[in-house]
Chain A
Amino acid sequence: MPDRTSDPSTRTESTEPTGRQRLRAAMHARWSRGQAVVGVLLAVLGFAAVVQVRANDADEVFVGAREGDLIALINTLALATDRAEAEIADLRRTRDSLQDDAESTATAIAVARERADTLGILAGTLPAEGPGIRITVEAQAGELGSEQLLNGLQELRNAGAEAIEINDEVRVVAQSGLTEGPDGRLAVDGVLLDPPYVIDVIGDPHTLATALEFDGGFIEEVEAVAGSVSVEQLDTVDVTSTRRPVPPRFANPVEEE
């Protein structure tokens, strides 16, 4: 049918470019506003498509999971969260109580340490320093008896002496015993002392010095029997000798309620 071959569709094909020709022409198309807008829109499309594909990849684990499974999963997660939260609260409480404990322990330790210092100085187990006086008794062996020394120590204690030491050798404490050696030398806790006797006392210097000076006091008493006594008031007196504590064998503390 010749008519068919020359019908309008074939005629338009010869005058108008075909799709392929248009596409080929578009490949060499020049820059134009329309092309730019199309480019921008296609860029947006590509960007959005890639982003969406990536976002979809991210949570593919649960894709296709059945509703029941998902609900069970959520319930499990909620339970786990509850448990974790309970645990957090528990741990927080434990931490708080431990903190309280630590604080009270620290306080107890500080108090105990203070008490240990006090008792250590009283019992003579710790060296001590502080203001006080130094008494020097110039006397020959045998001239000064334990009686006078005992009286003197008593007066010093009354005046608030906190730590007493003789000749940098012997610490005088509550349990100390005063004796006289065979050659008339004084002995404290069995340690023989050589004159001159130097007694270091820690306490209020003025009070201590006054306690020794009154009528019939240590100085007069000693000077009546022998030698001379000099008293120095010092800002710092070092009491360096210590005494090993003797644990009581018979005495037991009475428990207080």
Chain B
Amino acid sequence: MIGALGLALGVVLGLLLQPDVPFWLQPYLPIAVVAALDAVFGALRAFLDGIFDDKVFVVSFISNVLIAALIVYLGDQLGVGGQLSTGVIVVLGIRIFSNVAAIRRHLFHA
């Protein structure tokens, strides 16, 4: 409940403030957002499994974001930033899909 409230609050804040993305953050923000989404869906699945732990969620959330940013940074340094970003997105996308499938089975038994 509080999580949903927090999400709504963040969206409203973003809409109201309309901040510009700082230039140095521009390549990392999209990947970081996707990584965070992955962490959130994983957490939701764990919650429905009854094994949710807020400590685990915090750690996975932050480490997901950091690792995603690190991979993009590394890719940029190696000159394969675009490809590596795509790879990260694909992997995270697969994870999100599998998590969502698990959530779906929990909620709809289907």
Q: Do these two chains really belong together in a complex?
A: yes
Q: Could you mark each residue 12-29 of chain B with 1 if its beta carbon is under 8 Å from any beta carbon of chain A, else 0? A: 011100111100001001
A183 at the interface (CB under 8 A from B): no
Contact across chains for B1 and A43 when beta carbons are under 8 A apart:
no
Q: A19-B107, A39-B3 are in contact. Are A50 and B10 (CB under 8 A)?
A: yes
Which B residues are CB-close (under 8 A) to A47? 10-11, 13-14
Task: Judge whether B33 and A43 touch: CB under 8 Å.
Answer: no
Residues of A near B5 (CB, < 8 A) are 39
Count class of interface residues, chain A: 35 or more
- Among A27, A41, A46, A50, the residue within 8 A (CB) of B58 is A41
Contact pick for A26, options B1, B11, B18, B107, CB 8 Å: B1
Measured in the bound complex, the distance between the Cα atoms of B54 and A18 in whole Å is 20
Query: Are A55 and B7 in touch, CB under 8 angstroms?
Result: no
In the complex, per-residue mask of A1-28: 1 if CB is within 8 Å of any chain B CB, else 0 = 0000000000000001111101100111
Interface presence of B90 (CB below 8 A): no
Contacts of A45 in B (CB 8 A): 7, 10, 33, 36-37, 40
Closest chain B CB from A16 CB (angstroms): 6
CA distance A18 to B32 in the complex (A): 32
Q: Would you call the interface of chain A mostly helix, strand, loop, or mixed?
A: helix
Contact yes or no, A16 B50, CB < 8 A:
yes
Q: Which residue from A22, A41, A55 sits with its C-beta under 8 Å from B47?
A: A22
A26 to chain B, nearest CB (A): 6
In the bound complex, residues from chain A placing their C-beta under 8 Å from that of B53 are: 34
Give the residues in chain A near B14, CB-CB below 8 Å: 46-51, 54
User: Are B20 and A43 interface neighbours, CB within 8 A?
Assistant: no
The reply on A44 being an interface residue by CB < 8 A is yes
Count contacts on B: residues with CB < 8 A to the other chain. Answer: 40
Q: Which of A35, A52, A55, A56 contacts B1 (CB 8 A)?
A: A35
Query: What is the CA–CA distance of A56 and B20 in the complex, to the nearest angstrom?
Result: 11
- The answer to whether B26 touches A55 (Cβ under 8 A) is yes
Minimum C-beta distance from A138 to chain B (A): 97
CA distance in complex: A188, B89 (Å): 110
Complex Cα distance, B11 from A110, in Å, reads 71
A55 touches B48 (CB 8 A): no
- Residues of A participating in the B interface, judged by any CB pair closer than 8 Å: 16-20, 22-23, 26-29, 31, 33-52, 54-56
Other 14 A-B pairs with CB < 8 A, given A51-B14, A52-B21: A16-B50, A19-B48, A20-B106, A22-B48, A39-B5, A41-B6, A43-B13, A44-B36, A45-B33, A46-B10, A47-B10, A47-B14, A49-B10, A49-B11
Q: Offer 12 A-B interface pairs, CB within 8 angstroms, sorted by A.
A: A29-B2, A35-B1, A38-B57, A39-B7, A43-B7, A45-B37, A47-B10, A48-B36, A49-B10, A51-B14, A52-B33, A55-B26
